Amino acid sequence: MRALLLGTVVLSALMVGHPAAQAAPKTLVYCSEGSPENFNAALNTTGTTFDANRPIAEGLVAFERGKTNVQPALAERWEVSDDGLTYTFHLRRGVKWHSNKDFKPSRDFNADDVVFSFHRQWKPEHPYYPVSGGGYAYFKSQGLADLLESVEKVDDHTVVFRLKHPETPFVATLGMDFANIQSAEYADFLAKKGAKERIDQDPIGTGPFFLQVYQKDAQVRYRAFPDYWGGKAALDSLVFSITPDAAVRYAKLQRGECHLMPYPNPPDLAAMKADPAINLLQQEGLNIGYMALNTQKKPFDDVRVRRAINMAIDRQAIIDNVFQGSGVVAKNPIPPTIWSYNEQVQDYEFDPEKAKALLAEAGFPDGFQTDLYAMPVQRPYNPNARRMAELIQADLAKIGVKADIVSFEWGEYRKRIQNGDHGMALFGWTGDNGDPDNFMHTLLGCAGAVPGGSNIAKWCHKPYDDLVTEAKRVPDQAERAKLYAEAQRIFKEEAPWVTIAHSIVFEPVRKEVVDYKQSPFNRHEFYGVDLKQ
Partner 1 sequence: MLKFLLTRFAVLVPTFLGVTLLAFFLIRLVPGDPVEVRLGERGISAERLEEMRAQLGLDRPLLEQYLDYLGGVLTGDLGRSVVTQNPVLEEFLTLFPATVELALCAILFAVIIGLPAGMIAAVKRGTAFDHVVMGGSLTGYSMPIFWWGLLLILLFSVTLGWTPVSGRLSALYWVEPVTGFMLIDSLLSEEPGAFGDALHHLILPTIVLGTIPLAVIARMTRSSMLEVLGEDYIRTARAKGLARARIIGLHALRNALIPVVTVIGLQIGVLLGGAILTETIFSWPGIGKWLVESINRRDYPALQGGVLLIATVVMAVNLLVDLLYGILNPRIRHGR
Residues that bind partner 1 (CB under 8 A): 27, 29, 34-35, 37-38, 44-46, 130, 132-135, 137-138, 140-141, 145, 197, 200-201, 212-213, 215-219, 221, 239, 241-245, 247-248, 251-252, 254-255, 257-258, 379, 408-412, 414-415, 418, 427-430, 448, 452-454
The Cβ of residue 327 has, within 10 Å, a number of other Cβ atoms equal to 25
In one letter, which amino acid is 288? I
Element (H, E) at 302: none
Q: How far is the CB of 168 from partner 1 (least distance, A)?
A: 21
Specify the residue, 421 or 493, whose C-beta has the smaller distance to partner 1: 421
Q: How far is the CB of 367 from partner 1 (least distance, A)?
A: 31
Specify the residue, 73 or 389, whose C-beta has the smaller distance to partner 1: 389
Q: How far is the CB of 422 from partner 1 (least distance, A)?
A: 15
Specify the residue, 367 or 431, whose C-beta has the smaller distance to partner 1: 431
DSSP state of 346: P
Element (H, E) at 510: strand 497-510
User: Half-sphere exposure of 511 toward its Cβ, with a 13 Å CA cutoff?
Assistant: 9
Distance, in Å, from the CA atom of 410 to the CA atom of 379, rounded to the nearest integer, reads 11
Specify the residue, 133 or 226, whose C-beta has the smaller distance to partner 1: 133
Taken in order 232, 235, 241, 242, the sign of the CA dihedral is negative
Specify the residue, 350 or 408, whose C-beta has the smaller distance to partner 1: 408
CB contact set of 381 (below 8 Å; sequence gap of 6+): 285, 287, 288, 289, 428, 429, 430, 501, 502, 503
Specify the residue, 29 or 74, whose C-beta has the smaller distance to partner 1: 29
Specify the residue, 71 or 215, whose C-beta has the smaller distance to partner 1: 215
Distance, in Å, from the CA atom of 241 to the CA atom of 215, rounded to the nearest integer, reads 10
Distance, in Å, from the CA atom of 177 to the CA atom of 50, rounded to the nearest integer, reads 6
> 73 with 58: CB under 8 angstroms?
yes
Q: How far is the CB of 67 from partner 1 (least distance, A)?
A: 23
DSSP result, 352-411: HHHHHHHHHHTT-TT--EEEEE--SS-BTTBS-HHHHHHHHHHHHHTTT-EEEEE---HH
Specify the residue, 38 or 519, whose C-beta has the smaller distance to partner 1: 38
Specify the residue, 10 or 21, whose C-beta has the smaller distance to partner 1: 21
Q: How far is the CB of 311 from partner 1 (least distance, A)?
A: 28
Distance, in Å, from the CA atom of 245 to the CA atom of 377, rounded to the nearest integer, reads 17
Q: How far is the CB of 300 from partner 1 (least distance, A)?
A: 20
Distance, in Å, from the CA atom of 483 to the CA atom of 345, rounded to the nearest integer, reads 14
User: What are the Cα distances from residue 73, in Å, to 55, 175, 395, 515?
Assistant: 13, 9, 50, 20
Specify the residue, 141 or 316, whose C-beta has the smaller distance to partner 1: 141
Specify the residue, 30 or 109, whose C-beta has the smaller distance to partner 1: 30
> 53 with 36: CB under 8 angstroms?
yes
Q: How far is the CB of 245 from partner 1 (least distance, A)?
A: 6
Q: How far is the CB of 111 from partner 1 (least distance, A)?
A: 28
Q: How far is the CB of 172 from partner 1 (least distance, A)?
A: 16
> 224 with 235: CB under 8 angstroms?
yes
Cα separation of the two ends of the chain: 27
Instruction: Name 448's bridge partners.
Output: none
Instruction: Name 287's bridge partners.
Output: 430
Q: How far is the CB of 238 from partner 1 (least distance, A)?
A: 10
Taken in order 174, 176, 181, 187, the sign of the CA dihedral is negative
> 321 with 386: CB under 8 angstroms?
no
Q: How far is the CB of 294 from partner 1 (least distance, A)?
A: 16
Q: Which of 476, 370, 490 is nearest to 423 (CA)?
A: 370
Q: How far is the CB of 222 from partner 1 (least distance, A)?
A: 12
Specify the residue, 86 or 384, whose C-beta has the smaller distance to partner 1: 384
